[in-house]
Amino acid sequence: MIRVITFMFGLAILIMSGCGPSSTSSTSTSKNSDKNSQGNSPAGSPVAIQLNWYPESEHGGVFQAEADGGYQAAGLKVDIRPGGRSAPVAQELALGRVQFGFANADDVVVYRRQGLDVVAVLAAMQDNPRCILVQDKSGVDSLNELAGLTLQCQAGRPYLEFMRSKGLLDKVKEVPYFGSVAPLVADPKIAIQGYSCAEPLLAEQEGVKVRVLMVSKLGWNPYSSVLITTGKLIKEQPELVRAFVKATQAGWESYFKDPTKGNADILAANDHGMTANVLKYGSEQMRELAMPLGDQSKVFGRMSLTRWTKLIEQMDALDPSQAKLVKPEDCFNDKFLD
């Protein structure tokens, strides 16, 4: 689950060391740029992708593409790098140590506000899985009834600021979240942040019935499981980006048909208590988020200017000091989606 990446000190270090959004990628050279601009295949290209959390179903498309041989068929040698509570996605992209990463759409806006040339190229989840979990016996039925509870969450996340602007966190004690359902299981006065595709089942496996309160129902619904890269890579190696995006897109589509292979690889890569049942549950829940009922689009992972514009308007309203720093059209590039 994505999660806060607070890196202002890291950004300062990057700037002082002469690194930043314009840093040369470790796999990018002017020679490769010239070749790719002429449409040459990226055959044999090494590619690294930084996950924004421990490997879970929210990264299923990448693991499935690797397990299915989709990346290999595209001529790509892919290194999938696990994340965690402070996964350095933006820093790794800025330094050129990875070519792709995972984020949420609101993270992209935050990164660009900080001067990083981060661009979304595929959004796996059209509806955001962010939720607040409470015990069933807590008596809390909606996000309007959190007063009196202790909420374990990651400070600074835009969704929290959105909830706060609605008065939903008044009289709520906020404490750090450590990636575990244990406190919720132990105390009905505890609420935790989570993703609807994982934590609910984890809690119920511990014998506690929970209520899943979706933040998207408040009107906060940024794209999730977003594949990101840099504008520099798009400009200099478009065929590499195209090959990776298309293979990942196919990986997601395969994952939602039968996630068996991808989940097996995720389970092998995750040593933080993940189970096969939770991954199966996650892939089922994510299918509805990735392909909502009534969705008429035939392009998996698509994004729209309307959605990005609304998100930036919401974020600018939450922090007027950052308003107008980011243009919606700069946040995404969907030309690689079929």
Q: How many whole angstroms separate alpha carbon 133 and alpha carbon 214?
A: 9
The Cα–Cα gap between 179 and 58 comes to 15
Contacts for 256-260: CB closer than 8 Å, 24+ residues apart: 256/283, 256/286, 256/287, 256/290, 256/291, 259/57, 259/60, 259/64, 259/283
Domain ranges of the chain: 8-127+222-330, 130-218
**Cβ–Cβ < 8 Å for 331, 229:** no
First-to-last alpha carbon distance for the chain, in angstroms, is 27
Exposed/middle/buried for 136, CB within 10 Å: 0-12, 13-18, 19+?
A: middle
Can you give the pLDDT at residue 35? 40
CA distance 105 to 222: 5
The whole-model pTM stands at: 0.86
Question: Token pair of 334, please?
Answer: 């969907």
Backbone angles phi, psi at 143, to 5 degrees: -70, -10
Q: Crossing angle of helices 158-165/305-318, nearest 10°? A: 70
In whole angstroms, give the CA distance from residue 191 to residue 216: 17
Name the residue among 308, 321, 336 with its Cα closest to residue 237.
336
Q: How far apart are CA 51 and CA 226, in angstroms?
A: 11
Query: Are 8-127+222-330 and 130-218 the same fold in CATH?
Result: yes
Max Cα-Cα span within the chain: 63
pLDDT given at position 294: 78
Instruction: Check if the beta carbon of residue 173 is closer than 8 Å to that of residue 151.
Output: yes
Q: Which CATH fold topology does 8-127+222-330 show?
A: D-Maltodextrin-Binding Protein; domain 2 (3.40.190)
Q: Which residue has the tokens 């060391």?
A: 17
Question: Which is the CATH superfamily of the domain at 130-218?
Answer: Periplasmic binding protein-like II (3.40.190.10)
Query: Phi and psi dihedrals of 335, rounded to 5?
Result: -75, -15
pLDDT tens over the chain, length 338 residues: 333 333 343 433 333 333 333 332 333 333 333 443 334 556 678 999 999 999 999 999 999 999 999 999 999 999 999 998 889 999 999 999 999 999 999 999 999 999 999 999 999 999 999 999 999 999 999 999 999 999 999 999 999 999 999 999 999 999 999 889 999 999 999 999 999 999 999 999 999 999 999 999 999 999 999 999 999 999 999 999 999 999 999 999 999 999 999 999 999 999 887 899 999 999 999 999 999 987 777 899 999 999 999 999 999 999 999 999 999 999 999 999 98
